[in-house]
C-alpha cells in the first residue's frame, strides 16, 4: 500500500497593432485562421482569474500572471518555454500548482520531468473554466515575457470588407474552440467515468467566483481567546527557552530588525525589545492583536514594537524596511507540524529575511519516534468503554485508533531508543518538504516480555545564533521536574532576574556563536503543552528485548483541512536474530 505525496500585461506597439488590423493581406488572415487558439486565449483574458499562489482574483488572466511574475517571481510563459511544455503538460502544471497549493519555491524545485506531467488526473481543472487553461503562449506571448498580443482585438478593422472577413474568421474560431472544449470535456469524463467536470469538483457551474475552502477562520478564531495563550505562556519549558535564547544573546539582537510571526500576546516581541532590538514587527491575524497592542503600550515599548494585524502572507512592512535580521516565531503544533503554521513562517522567510546572515529562531527541529507500551493510555481510552456502570459501551472504542492521541506518557512506558524521522533546518527547508516519508527501525529494550500498544512521537527544538545546521550528534537538553529553569531570565518567587552590566567584548560574541539553546517535548523531559503524540495500534505487538519494529512513516497535510495531518505507518516485526519478518501492517491516522 502506498501514499501519494503525496513563477506586464504587454501589448504590441500601437503602430504594429494598427498595421496588423488595417492590413488586407490574405496571408495574414490565413495565419489567423490557422491559430484559433488565439481567440480562445483572448476570451480567457476577459474572465476573472485567480493568482496561482494566493486567493487574490484579478479581472484578467494577464493581470494574474503579471502579479505572480512580479510578486512571486514566477513566469509561467518562461517556464513553459524552458521546459518546452505543450498544451496538455502546461494544463497539468497549472492544475498541479492549484491543487497542491505550491509556493513559488516549491515550483522552483520542479524540473519539468515529474510524473504528474503525464498523469490524466491533472487534466481535471481545479477551477472549472480556469482562464489560465485557455491561454496559448506559443504565439501570443512576446519573447521578452510580455502579455498576450492584442493583435486580434485591440483595434477595429479599417473598412467593411476587412470587418466582414474578420467576422467570418472569428466565427470559424468560435466554432472550432467550442468543438475543442467539448472534446476536452469528453476526454475527462470518459477517463473518469463521471457525467461532468462540475461533478468532479463538486461545483454546479463555472467557478470563477466559487468560494474557496476556508481552513483559516476557525484556526485564527481559536487564538482570539485568553485560555490558549495562558496555557502557552505558563509552559515554562517553552517560554523560558525562547527567553533564554533572546535575552542571553544581546549581540545578536542589539539594533536588529526583528519579525515576530504569530505574535499572540507579544511576549516574544517584548523579549526581543528588552534584548536591544532596534524595532520589532509583530504580526498577528487573530483578535488577540488588539490586546497585544495594549500590552505593548502598557510596557512602554510602543516606539520599538509595531503590531501588524493580518496574515503574514498578505501584510507589508514599511517602505524603508527591505529585510529583517531575525524571524522569531512559536509555530510548533502537536506532532510539530499540526496547524501548518510553519508554512507561514517559511513564507515570511522568503519574503522578508535578510538573505545573507538572517537568523531563524528556532533554527532547527527534529521529529522523533519510539516504541511505547502505552498500557495506561489503553486503559483510559479503550478498555474504559468495556464496562461503564455495568454496561458494554465498547462500540465507542472502535474508532479510537483512527485518530492520533495527544497525551503525556511516562518515561518508563518508552521501550526503545528514539529514531530520527525528520530533521528540519529552518534556513533551507521548503513547504513542499513538509510532506515526507521516512524509514525507521526501533529495537525493543524491554528486559521482559511485553506488549507494544503504540508508537510515540515528539519533537526537539534548537536555537542557534548562526542558523547553521546542527549535527544529529548534538544532544537536546532535557529539563526534569524540579529543575531551576532559567533563573537568569525567569523571575523566581516574585524577584526580578539579576541585572548585569552588558558586555560587548569579542569573547562574548564567540560564546554566543557557540551557544545552543534547546528543549525537548519527549517523555524524558518535563512535560509541555504539546505533550506527546500517540499512534495506537489496532493489534498490539508482542515484544521482548531485541524485537525489531521497522517500516516507513508517511506524513502529509490532510486534503480535507490543510491544517490537519494525515499519517500512515507501515511496519513489520522481527523477533531478532534469524527470525522471520512478519507481514507488513498498515495503519492510518488523523492528527486533528
| Model pLDDT for residues 534-592, shown as the tens digit of each residue | 999 999 999 999 999 999 999 999 988 999 999 999 999 999 778 888 999 999 999 99
Per-residue model confidence as pLDDT tens digits over 347-372: 999 999 999 999 999 999 999 999 99
pLDDT above 70 (res 214): no
Output the pLDDT for position 70. 86
Output the pLDDT for position 165. 76
Output the pLDDT for position 585. 95
Average of per-residue pLDDT across 442-455: 96
Name residues whose C-beta falls within 8 Å of residue 167's C-beta, 6 or more positions apart in sequence. none
Range of lowest pLDDT (216-230, 276-290, 486-500): 486-500
Residue 86 pLDDT class (50, 70, 90 cuts): confident
Spatial distance between the Cα atoms of 514 and 507, rounded to a whole number of angstroms? 11
Counting residues of the chain whose pLDDT is more than 70, the rounded percentage is: 77
Q: Average per-residue pLDDT in the chain?
A: 82
Residue 513 pLDDT class (50, 70, 90 cuts): low
Range of lowest pLDDT (60-74, 143-157, 276-290, 524-538): 143-157
- Name the residue with higher pLDDT: 257 or 211: 257
Output the pLDDT for position 280. 98
Q: HSE, CB side, 13 Å, CA atoms: give it for residue 372.
A: 28
Counting residues of the chain whose pLDDT is more than 90, the rounded percentage is: 56
Phi/psi at 371 (5° precision): -85, 145
Average of per-residue pLDDT across 266-281: 97
Range of lowest pLDDT (60-64, 157-161, 228-232, 565-569): 157-161
pLDDT above 50 (res 339): yes
Output the pLDDT for position 446. 95
Per-residue model confidence as pLDDT tens digits over 451-507: 999 999 999 999 999 999 999 999 999 887 766 555 445 554 455 554 544 445 555
Residue 318 pLDDT class (50, 70, 90 cuts): very high
Average of per-residue pLDDT across 429-439: 95
pLDDT above 80 (res 123): yes
Beta bridge pairs of residue 57: 50
Output the pLDDT for position 211. 47
Spatial distance between the Cα atoms of 503 and 490, rounded to a whole number of angstroms? 20
Spatial distance between the Cα atoms of 208 and 266, rounded to a whole number of angstroms? 39
pLDDT above 50 (res 85): yes
Residue 221 pLDDT class (50, 70, 90 cuts): confident
Name residues whose C-beta falls within 8 Å of residue 315's C-beta, 6 or more positions apart in sequence. 283, 308
Cell 505533550 belongs to residue:
531
Spatial distance between the Cα atoms of 119 and 497, rounded to a whole number of angstroms? 61
Output the pLDDT for position 129. 80
Output the pLDDT for position 58. 85
Spatial distance between the Cα atoms of 405 and 372, rounded to a whole number of angstroms? 13
DSSP state letter for 379 = H
Strand, helix or coil for residue 238: helix
Average of per-residue pLDDT across 506-530: 83
Whether 112 contacts 82, CB under 8 Å: yes
pLDDT above 70 (res 532): yes
Residue 182: CB atoms within 10 Å: 10
Residue 4 pLDDT class (50, 70, 90 cuts): very low
- Cell readout for 292 is 497585544
Sign of CA dihedral 114, 118, 121, 126: positive
Output the pLDDT for position 257. 98
- Name the residue with higher pLDDT: 472 or 224: 472
Range of lowest pLDDT (147-156, 238-247, 432-441, 462-471): 147-156
Q: Which residues are catalytic?
A: 330, 339
Give the burial class of 511: count Cβ atoms within 10 A of its Cβ; 0-12 exposed, 13-18 middle, 19 or more buried. middle
Per-residue model confidence as pLDDT tens digits over 295-310: 999 999 999 999 999 9
- Name the residue with higher pLDDT: 176 or 335: 335
Average of per-residue pLDDT across 270-282: 97
Distance set, CA 98 to CA 91, 126, 196, 569 (Å) = 11, 7, 20, 28
Output the pLDDT for position 109. 87
Output the pLDDT for position 494. 52
Amino acid at each position: 500500500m502506498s501514499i501519494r505525496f503525496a513563477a506586464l500585461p504587454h501589448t504590441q506597439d500601437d503602430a504594429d497593432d494598427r498595421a496588423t488590423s488595417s492590413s488586407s493581406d490574405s496571408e495574414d488572415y490565413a495565419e489567423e485562421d490557422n491559430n484559433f487558439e488565439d481567440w480562445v486565449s483572448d476570451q480567457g483574458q476577459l474572465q476573472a482569474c485567480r493568482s496561482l499562489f494566493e486567493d487574490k482574483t484579478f479581472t484578467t488572466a494577464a493581470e494574474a500572471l503579471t502579479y505572480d511574475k512580479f510578486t512571486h517571481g514566477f513566469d509561467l510563459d518562461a517556464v513553459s518555454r524552458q521546459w518546452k511544455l505543450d498544451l496538455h503538460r502546461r494544463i497539468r502544471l497549472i492544475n498541479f500548482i492549484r491543487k497542491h497549493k505550491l509556493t513559488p519555491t516549491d515550483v522552483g524545485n520542479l524540473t519539468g520531468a515529474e510524473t504528474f506531467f503525464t498523469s490524466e488526473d491533472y487534466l481535471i481543472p481545479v477551477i472549472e473554466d480556469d482562464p489560465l487553461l485557455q491561454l496559448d503562449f506559443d504565439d501570443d506571448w512576446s519573447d521578452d515575457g510580455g502579455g498576450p498580443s492584442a493583435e486580434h482585438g485591440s483595434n477595429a478593422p479599417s473598412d467593411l470588407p476587412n470587418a466582414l472577413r474578420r467576422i467570418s474568421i472569428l466565427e470559424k474560431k468560435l466554432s472550432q474552440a467550442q468543438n475543442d472544449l467539448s472534446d476536452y470535456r469528453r476526454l475527462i469524463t470518459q477517463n473518469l467515468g463521471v457525467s461532468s467536470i462540475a461533478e468532479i469538483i463538486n461545483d454546479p457551474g463555472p467557478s470563477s467566483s466559487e468560494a474557496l475552502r476556508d481552513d483559516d477562520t476557525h484556526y485564527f478564531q481559536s487564538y482570539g481567546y485568553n485560555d490558549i495563550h495562558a496555557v502557552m505562556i505558563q509552559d515554562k519549558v517553552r517560554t523560558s527557552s525562547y527567553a533564554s535564547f533572546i535575552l542571553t544573546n544581546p549581540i545578536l539582537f542589539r539594533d536588529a530588525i526583528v519579525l515576530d510571526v504569530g505574535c499572540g500576546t507579544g511576549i516574544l516581541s517584548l523579549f526581543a525589545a528588552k534584548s536591544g532590538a532596534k524595532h520589532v514587527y509583530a504580526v498577528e491575524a487573530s483578535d488577540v492583536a488588539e490586546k497585544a497592542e495594549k500590552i505593548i503600550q502598557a510596557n512602554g515599548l510602543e516606539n520599538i514594537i509595531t503590531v501588524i494585524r493580518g496574515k503574514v502572507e498578505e501584510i507589508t512592512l514599511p517602505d524603508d524596511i527591505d529585510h529583517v535580521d531575525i524571524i522569531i516565531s512559536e509555530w510548533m503544533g502537536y506532532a510539530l507540524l499540526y496547524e501548518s503554521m510553519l508554512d507561514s513562517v517559511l513564507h515570511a522567510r522568503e519574503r522578508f529575511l535578510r538573505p545573507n546572515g538572517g537568523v531563524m529562531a528556532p533554527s532547527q527541529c527534529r521529529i522523533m519516534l519510539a516504541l511505547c507500551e502505552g498500557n495506561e493510555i489503553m486503559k483510559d481510552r479503550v478498555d474504559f468503554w468495556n464496562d461503564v456502570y455495568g454496561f458494554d459501551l465498547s462500540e465507542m472504542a472502535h474508532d479510537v485508533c483512527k485518530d492520533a492521541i495527544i497525551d503525556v506518557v511516562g518515561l518508563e512506558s518508552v521501550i526503545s531508543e528514539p529514531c530520527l524521522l525528520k530533521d528540519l533546518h529552518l534556513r533551507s527547508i521548503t513547504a513542499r518538504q513538509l510532506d515526507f516519508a521516512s524509514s525507521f527501525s526501533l529495537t525493543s529494550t524491554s528486559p521482559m516480555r511485553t506488549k507494544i500498544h503504540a508508537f510515540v512521537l515528539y519533537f526537539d527544538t534548537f536555537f542557534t545564533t548562526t542558523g547553521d545546521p546542527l549535527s544529529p550528534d548534538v544532544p537536546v537538553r532535557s529539563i526534569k521536574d524540579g529543575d531551576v529553569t532559567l533563573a537568569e531570565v525567569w523571575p523566581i518567587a516574585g524577584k526580578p532576574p539579576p541585572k548585569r552590566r552588558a558586555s560587548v567584548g569579542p569573547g562574548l560574541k564567540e560564546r554566543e556563536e557557540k551557544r545552543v539553546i534547546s528543549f525537548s517535548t519527549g517523555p524524558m523531559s518535563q512535560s509541555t503543552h504539546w505533550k506527546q503524540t500517540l499512534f495506537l495500534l489496532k493489534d498490539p505487538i508482542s515484544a521482548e528485548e531485541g524485537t525489531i519494529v521497522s517500516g516507513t512513516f508517511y506524513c502529509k497535510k490532510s486534503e480535507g483541512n490543510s491544517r490537519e495531518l494525515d499519517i500512515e505507518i507501515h511496519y513489520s516485526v522481527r523477533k531478532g536474530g534469524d527470525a522471520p519478518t512478519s507481514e507488513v501492517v498498515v495503519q492510518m491516522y488523523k492528527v486533528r
